[in-house]
Amino acid sequence: MIQTETTPNPDSLKFLSERVISTAGTEEFQKDKENDLKNSFVRELLNFKGVELILLSKNFISVKKNKDVSWNELKPMVISHLNDYFQKSDEPILKEKKLINDDHTNDETVNKIIEVLDTKIRPAVARDGGDIKFKSFKNGVVHVELQGSCSGCPSSLMTLKQGVQNLLKHYVKEVNSVEAVQ
| Domains of the chain with bracketed CATH | 2-88 (3.30.1370.70), 108-180 (3.30.300.130)
CA-closest candidate to residue 113, choices 140, 151, 147: 140
Over range 1-13, report the average pLDDT: 90
Percent of the chain with pLDDT over 70: 88
- Say if residue 106's pLDDT is above 70: no
CA-closest candidate to residue 26, choices 83, 85, 75, 97: 97
Secondary structure (DSSP) of 109-125: HHHHHHHHIIIIIHHHH
Query: Bigger pLDDT: 101 or 143?
Result: 143
Per-residue model confidence as pLDDT tens digits over 65-95: 999 999 999 999 999 999 999 999 989 998 8
Check the CA dihedral 112-118-123-126 and report its sign: positive
Contacts of 176 (CB under 8 A, 6+ apart): 139, 140, 141, 169
